[in-house]
Amino acid sequence: MEDILKNLQQLREQDLHTNVIKLCNLALTLCEQKPGSCSAQGKIQMLLYYGDALYQTRQYQQAEHYYRQALQMRKNSLKKSKNHKINDNHNDIPSDVDIKYKIHLCLVALKQASAAKEILQTIPARMLTPKINMALGCLYRDTGMERSALTCFKEVLRECPLALDAIENLLKLGVKGVEVSSLILDLSSESSWFNQWLKAQAQMNAREFANAIKSFKSMDTHGLLKDNVLLSVNMAYCYHYMCEDNRAISILQKALRLDPTLVTGRDLLSTLLAESATKEHIRFLEGLVPSLDTSLWQCEHWVVLGNYNLALKKYDKVGYFGQQALLMDRTNIDAYLLKAKAFLHLKGYLIAANYCTEALQLCPYRYDLHKCLVECYIQSNRLRDAESAAINCKQHNFSAHGYCLHAAVLLKDPMASSKTLKKTLEKAVALDKNGSTNALPMLVEYMMSDQQYEQAVELIQKHINTLRPTSKLHQLLADCFVALHKDEDAFTHYNLALKLDPNNQKATEGLNSIGTTTSAKKMDSYYSSMFDGSSYQPTPSSAAKNNLSDHEADPESDTDAWPAVADVSNFDCD
């Protein structure tokens, strides 16, 4: 059998795994038929070669079976040996620890996390290597055993100070950057970049997203980490958490141009492109659809395909692709959001809400999850739950978007206090420094419904020069001037509105009605009816569609009439 073992080793070194499988299968049968022809150590080695080849060819269940056989034979061999050691001639046979680690890899691939954790827990503490501690830490983290996970990740760092994944896991589990830094000793001067990287990661996980972006940008320079794609992905996530999705899209697109094979962040980009729904973004999304065989796909690839079908409104397929993504990674936020949106469009509101709730437990500070959950409750006429979800959004995400979302819910509720509504809108406007939400138009329309035209004019004029001017704002300002019988000013701003968006129907109607005796009365009647507590529907702002040119305005632009039926695309404070 020595010749067979030598040939097996040669085949293994050449990565001829299918050949190893066939030869091992025959050789093991020969060993059974002629027990004296093969030593115990030789058979153990053969079993391990067999298991390794099966693992490399993704036959995980069979690989686990032969690894366990090798482990059991090794234990029996040790018991029979007087000195409890394997012969020196076979000291290349992996230890119990290595065999158990191989078994764990098979179990992880088979989605049997509990069994994988149990096999690693049988290893004595004094024999735990960084590799074992890292694997145990990930398993403890995924099963909610955070304290044990922290211990394992810290042990990894004590021996491997640049284990960056262990560092990120510690920060995600709430360990402060200073404490992590204290675990890392004896770094050379060549690792000066590391302190900046650690600072940025600590800020990101402490939800100091603006500061994290500054720290990442300080590293994105020549001589440090210029054009590093993982750095770019981290910045994009920070921008997304701050509800600056256009910047996130731009950065992720740049990262993919630098590295077309990049997988990390591809799922988030597809989500943002599908939500944007501009022609340019849909074309880019189509280019992200993988051409690889599905056996090679990762979770992110399924999310991309799901979001592309979402953009095409093929909702029945979206749910399937989202499920495939979740089967590969139960912690992928975009996969949960994808399934939620699929069921939302298919009117499975309760199921959609459940997926949103699960995702929020993993990442409570993503605005798009809160927004989808609120929409689920509104569509199922659960306004109290919708308001609770919106308030929860404000607590986790204190951006203008959170307040705008709360205001949108209050506008749906006929029992809502007008005082609370106005305060919420005013807070949203105060927080919205760059006009990225629909808060200002919503507040102006509320004031106009109360016939506070002069105050509405002052409010618009205060902000219109500091924010990006939109067709919607000029049209609202013109409506106010009509109500105040200032026809010349109204004429000017209706024309400005139409210059920015020729499809602005309200501006066209307003311009045609200037000078008529009924125009002001019609304006009063229109804005009063909008806030009767039953028919108001917030529209997407032009900021959400700023990738369209003036002559390519979306037919469902922010200047359209309030739609009769809400859905996830037009229930928008962005």
Give residue-wise pLDDT tens across range 397-415.
778 888 888 988 888 888 8
Predicted confidence band of residue 430 (pLDDT cuts 50, 70, 90): confident
Amino acid at 365: Y
**In the structure encoding, which two tokens stand for residue 32, read together?**
């059974």
pLDDT on residue 75:
87
In the numeric block, the tokens 């939500």 are attached to 275
State the number of CA atoms in the 13 A half-sphere of 368 facing the CB: 24
**In the structure encoding, which two tokens stand for residue 237, read together?**
């996530």
Residues forming CATH 1.25.40.10 domain(s) in the chain: 1-127, 399-574
| Lowest-pLDDT choice from 138-147, 417-426, 487-496 | 417-426
In 3D space, the residue among 290, 300, 291, 294 whose CA is nearest the CA of residue 269 turns out to be: 300
Predicted confidence band of residue 195 (pLDDT cuts 50, 70, 90): confident
- Residue 180 · residue 198 · CB < 8 Å: yes
Query: Distance of alpha carbon 236 from its chain centroid, rounded?
Result: 11
- Residue 243 · residue 574 · CB < 8 Å: yes
Q: Is residue 533 predicted with pLDDT exceeding 80?
A: no
Q: Is residue 192 predicted with pLDDT exceeding 60?
A: yes
**Alpha-carbon gap, residue 196 to 218, rounded angstroms:** 8
Q: What's the whole-number average pLDDT of the chain?
A: 85
Predicted confidence band of residue 92 (pLDDT cuts 50, 70, 90): low
Q: Is residue 392 predicted with pLDDT exceeding 80?
A: yes
pLDDT on residue 572:
57
**In the structure encoding, which two tokens stand for residue 31, read together?**
């060993």
**Alpha-carbon gap, residue 113 to 137, rounded angstroms:** 12
Q: Is residue 36 predicted with pLDDT exceeding 80?
A: no
Predicted confidence band of residue 422 (pLDDT cuts 50, 70, 90): confident
- Residue 535 · residue 529 · CB < 8 Å: yes
- Residue 198 · residue 167 · CB < 8 Å: yes
Topology classification of domain 1-127:
1.25.40
For residue 286, the tally of other CB atoms under 10 A from its CB is 13
**Alpha-carbon gap, residue 285 to 179, rounded angstroms:** 41
Predicted confidence band of residue 569 (pLDDT cuts 50, 70, 90): very low
pLDDT on residue 215:
94
Length of the chain: 574
| CATH architecture of the domain formed by 399-574 | Alpha Horseshoe (1.25)
**Alpha-carbon gap, residue 225 to 201, rounded angstroms:** 15
- Residue 410 · residue 380 · CB < 8 Å: no
Predicted confidence band of residue 526 (pLDDT cuts 50, 70, 90): low
pLDDT on residue 400:
85
DSSP alpha helix (H) spans, 259-293: 266-276, 279-288
- Residue 141 · residue 116 · CB < 8 Å: no
pTM of the complete model beyond 0.75: yes
Could you report the per-residue pLDDT of 298-321, keeping only the tens digit for each?
A: 999 999 999 999 999 999 999 999
pLDDT on residue 425:
87
What own/partner pairs with CB < 8 Å and gap ≥ 24 does 15-24 have? 15/56, 17/52, 17/53, 17/56, 17/57, 18/53, 18/57, 20/49, 20/50, 20/52, 20/53, 21/50, 21/53, 21/54, 21/57, 24/49, 24/50, 24/53
